[in-house]
Structure 1
């Protein structure tokens, strides 16, 4: 059985190229690194390094082990993170990673309801766009991931995850109040083919470009930002117009900006993901139930 501590030392020698550099990086003495590598070679039953001047060169067996070491250590780290998550969840602490517009709208409602009805449950918030939020969930860095997808972007979740559909969020166009089309209730996207545009995150931007291509034009994108408040300010200042999810309308801070429905009608799908083995835990179920309630109100259910 290969010792994980020795594998970490082995990886550091491979990365740094010498026992001395690995010792400096790990905060060990050079003899301690030498001792650990020799012990690992005894466990493996073969030499792992040969000396090439002042640097160490991997043997063929060392090359084989090096290819597997990153995966082994990564898997061990993920297991440790998920075990820690399990312990934390049993104590009623839930880490939620959500995209900005959800953190500004859905999450405050959920947290407020939990504090009122279940004060022992604590929610810790993180912010990331998908797919980064799902990657954090798989790595054990959060317990629930909120993500969204547009038509044609949806993919089946990994087998270890459960996905819960929450809401279909209608897209709107944000216009300065003085814009000629601001008086309409519904704006055709094609009618804005000559407009300057402010675009959002990479996933939103990809969907927007696809919509414009379907309508027969290539948009003039003059600015991009992941910050919803900055996007509103840019529209209010007349820099450009923007397509945004209707959740943004809940925190429109500029009187100089209006949101209007667009044609073609497009919705993004909002969902929550959780590790399958965490689904039965009471703290997880309480947060998921809060998300279902908050989104049911918005969808009119």
Structure 2
């Protein structure tokens, strides 16, 4: 029988890409990881890694082993959930990753609800954008991820992960000054009126940036992006002081009235989908169920404050 610990190291290598990354993530020496994988090769009787420049990649047989390892780990995760469900008190640690606006608004409210109902559950929260958080979820660095998806720009859905919708978060054009035209001017015309104005957007490579650039290009102009940041509160501050235009989600207001003039976006572009993601097999864990329930109730509490 193959050694499960060594199989997990092989799986980690697939998800993390390098022996050094595996060693760092698991607090091992790189030489120890290499030695364990060499022993696994001896157990299996075929090469599992092949050199590609200074890196290595998995052979076809290694990919087969990783697929079976995923199935074993999923079953073990279900066993862990069943054991936790058999207990009367919810304990342990739940590791959550969240993008910024959800971390600012939904997560604190959910934490308060969890503290009331499950005081012995320890929740560890990391702010991380979905582009990085979802691969980390697959690698078992987190137990639950709060993620976002922009209209017309669906995320890749990695195998082994399960999604559950949380809310549709409206997106609005935030104006650095009151609109010159009447409120009856259409959304596309208002968008075009900012063609020569500086913009603030998230950095290249993010889903938010790709969507915002496409939004402007569909309106007929290339935006002058002078400010780049993943900090949406910085976006808001730049708009408030008249330095930039932006597209801001309603979550940024935290139930308060907008502090800058806002206008609707063109049809089909007016909200992003916010959802939670867990590994398949972990969705029945009582801590995950409790967190998802608390987040749903946080959404309702936020809506009641509006």
Match of 2:289 among 282, 285, 298: 285
Q: Provide structure 1 residue ranges, at least 5 long, that are not aligned to the other structure.
A: 17-23, 49-56
Match of 1:271 among 250, 269, 275: 275
Match of 2:198 among 196, 199, 207: 196
Superposed CA offset, 1:187-239 (max 9, x none): 62122222110112521111111111221111111111101222233334433
TM-score normalised by the chain length of structure 1: 0.70
Contact residue 173 and residue 242 of structure 1 kept, 8 A: yes
Residues 1:26 and 2:24 are matched in the alignment: no
TM-score normalised by the chain length of structure 2: 0.69
Moved more, 233-242 or 143-152: 233-242
Distance in 2 (alpha carbons) for counterparts of 1:296 and 1:185? 30
Contact residue 189 and residue 262 of structure 1 kept, 8 A: no
1:160 corresponds in structure 2 to 160
Distance in 2 (alpha carbons) for counterparts of 1:174 and 1:270? 20
- Shift of the 139–216 alpha-carbon distance from structure 1 to 2, 3 Å rule, reads same
- Shift of the 270–151 alpha-carbon distance from structure 1 to 2, 3 Å rule, reads same
2:263 corresponds in structure 1 to 261
Q: Which of 1 and 2 has greater Rg?
A: 1
Distance in 2 (alpha carbons) for counterparts of 1:102 and 1:182? 32
SS of the aligned residue for 2:119 comes to: coil
- Aligned-pair distance for 1:101? 0.7
2:222 corresponds in structure 1 to 218
SS of the aligned residue for 1:181 comes to: coil
Moved more, 150-159 or 109-118: 150-159
Distance in 2 (alpha carbons) for counterparts of 1:160 and 1:77? 8
Residues 1:230 and 2:230 are matched in the alignment: no
- Shift of the 80–284 alpha-carbon distance from structure 1 to 2, 3 Å rule, reads same
Q: CA RMSD in A?
A: 4.4
Match of 1:207 among 201, 206, 211: 211
Contact residue 197 and residue 242 of structure 1 kept, 8 A: yes
Match of 2:253 among 241, 249, 263: 249
Distance in 2 (alpha carbons) for counterparts of 1:250 and 1:64? 46
**What pairs up with 1:1-301 in 2 under 5 angstroms?**
26=31, 43=43, 68=61, 90=84, 91-155=91-155, 157-176=157-176, 179-181=177-179, 188-201=190-203, 202-250=206-254, 258-265=260-267, 266-298=270-302
Count of aligned pairs between the two proteins: 268
